[in-house]
């Protein structure tokens, strides 16, 4: 509730002031604003709830600096402009893009106070939303039951050195979970080495994983430390473990059993201290039945199991994640993060998200670039066509229901007193006929 927010700590950043501001600033101080007065050259990195700048034509030559100040401040901004500025296209465009509101001189304390109040309210709403998203663990944004369960499970699993198998669809953040397990463990200050088992050529994977000695094979001009040895003391993350070739699975099993490796071309065992975290999006149990994955390796890896949920099952997290990505990519596209329109939120909630969080990040990134209005619309996210498909599907269902009702009525007209003949005419059973009649309220 905004009326319960403590306004005693309201911070106002005022940039490029002049003498006429002094009376206004004194009055604002008396109403609870904490004012920081600075020049544009010294404003970068200063945080505020609301920022105010006397915007002049000369500032259009310093747009990049001013954009950086606005992005880093975390607050909403009001442009104070002279009367003649409103007629200048470049200035109007800049204000529309980067400012919450504008105020035209001369000063009127009541009007200015109202403008600041609106900006402060919006700033608090945005910051409260951001705080709500980030207040628990920065690794897993979201307020859904799945996100909360995942955070708790990661915290519990991080305290042990037991192997962990992370399962879930592509794009659901399996590597993020693996990194969180490392960050929260006693190994946090040691190496985290990630290996995509499906991305390394099969003829090189033995050398990549276990290393090799100089002269072990053609082209081995010097000793190479493998990924497992490089992770000594830390965490080894085996992504897409289901793509590991069968012959290497035997070597991996031996490593897990003995915590020893041998470089290619050497018979000298090397003791390593590594925690192994593996991830897969395939059904390993089915792969075992088909002979593509060793059962004994599966049980070595699957001591603890963590399941990541697909985004389509985490509706409560979609707006929070979308806002997070909008903030994340704002600097990249050089624009102030736009809010999502109500239609965009609805479209995102209706979308099936086959690419999960990775797809959401990409669509928000696209929307930040393509949005022309004050909000990001479904078309900016590439979801307008999806909405139309939903509408078409709904219309098709209505057509089918109308056709079904008409068929019932025609069959009843031909056989008004014989339900067996009606069912026979329609090619359905009598129980099905009665359910259909009840659905269409015909009897």
For the stretch 225-255, pLDDT in tens is 889 999 999 999 999 999 998 888 998 999 9
What pLDDT shows up at residue 158?
93
Determine which of 192-196, 228-232, 380-384 has the lowest per-residue pLDDT on average.
380-384
Instruction: Identify whether 106 is preceded by a cis peptide bond (ω within 30 of 0).
Output: yes
* For residues 280-292, average pLDDT: 92
Pairwise CA distance, residues 338 & 371, whole Å: 8
Alpha helices in 106-186 (DSSP H): 109-134, 145-158, 174-183
| The dihedral sign for the CA sequence 28, 33, 34, 37 | negative
Site of tokens 């700033």: 123
pTM listed for this prediction: 0.61
Whole-number pLDDT of residue 148: 86
- The model's pLDDT over 329-341, given as tens digits with 9 standing for 90+, comes to 876 776 677 789 8
Closest Cα to residue 347, out of 319, 313, 306? 319
- Of 29-38, 77-86, 190-199, 256-265, minimum mean pLDDT range: 77-86
Q: For residue 78, which phi and psi values (nearest 5 degrees)?
A: -120, 130
Distance CA 210, CA 229 (A): 7
Retrieve residue 176's tokens: 């993020």
What is the structure's pLDDT at 5? 36
Give dist(CA 284, CA 263) in Å, integer: 28
Bridge partners (DSSP) listed for residue 36:
13
For residue 3, pLDDT over 50 is answered with no
Residue 275 phi/psi, 5° resolution?
-95, 130
The dihedral sign for the CA sequence 124, 126, 128, 131: negative
Residue 134: pLDDT band (50, 70, 90) is very low
């Amino acid at each position: 509730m905004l009326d319960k927010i403590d306004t005693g700590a309201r911070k106002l950043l005022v940039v490029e002031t002049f003498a006429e501001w002094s009376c206004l600033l004194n009055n604002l101080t008396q109403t609870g604003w904490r004012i920081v007065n600075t020049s544009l050259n010294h404003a970068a990195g200063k945080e505020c709830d609301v920022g105010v700048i006397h915007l002049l034509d000369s500032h259009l030559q310093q747009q990049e600096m001013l954009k950086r100040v606005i992005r880093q401040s975390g607050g909403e901004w009001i442009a104070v402009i002279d009367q003649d500025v409103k007629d200048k296209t470049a200035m109007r465009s800049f204000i529309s893009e980067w400012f919450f509101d504008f105020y035209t001189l001369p000063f009127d304390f009541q009007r200015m106070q109202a403008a600041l109040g609106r900006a402060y309210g919006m700033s608090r709403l945005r910051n409260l939303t951001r705080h709500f998203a980030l207040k628990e663990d920065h690794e897993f944004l979201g307020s859904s039951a799945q996100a909360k369960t995942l955070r708790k499970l990661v915290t519990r699993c991080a305290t042990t050195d037991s192997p962990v198998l992370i399962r879930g669809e592509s794009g659901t953040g399996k590597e993020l979970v693996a990194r969180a397990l490392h960050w929260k463990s006693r190994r946090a200050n040691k190496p985290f080495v990630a290996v995509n088992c499906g991305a390394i050529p099969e003829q090189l994977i033995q050398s990549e994983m276990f290393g090799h000695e100089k002269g072990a094979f053609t082209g081995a001009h010097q000793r190479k430390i493998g990924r497992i040895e490089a992770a000594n003391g830390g965490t080894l993350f085996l992504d897409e473990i289901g793509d590991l070739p069968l012959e290497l699975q035997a070597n991996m099993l031996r490593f897990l059993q003995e915590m020893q490796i041998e470089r290619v071309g050497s018979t000298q065992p090397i003791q390593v201290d590594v925690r192994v975290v593996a991830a897969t999006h395939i059904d390993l149990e089915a792969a075992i039945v088909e002979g593509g994955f060793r059962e004994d390796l599966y049980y070595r890896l699957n001591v603890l199991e963590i399941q990541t949920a697909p985004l389509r099952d985490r509706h409560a997290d979609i707006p929070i994640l979308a806002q997070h990505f909008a903030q994340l990519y704002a600097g990249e596209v050089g624009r102030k993060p736009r809010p999502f329109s109500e239609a965009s939120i609805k479209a995102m909630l209706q979308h099936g998200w086959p690419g999960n969080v990775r797809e959401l990040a990409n669509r928000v990134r696209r929307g930040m670039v393509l949005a022309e209005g004050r909000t990001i619309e479904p078309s900016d996210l590439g979801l307008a066509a999806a909405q139309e498909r939903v509408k078409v599907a709904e219309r098709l269902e209505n057509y089918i229901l109308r056709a079904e009702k008409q068929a019932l009525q025609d069959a009843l007209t031909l056989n008004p007193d014989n339900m067996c003949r009606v069912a026979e005419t329609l090619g359905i059973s009598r129980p099905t006929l009665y359910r259909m009649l009840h659905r269409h309220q015909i009897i």
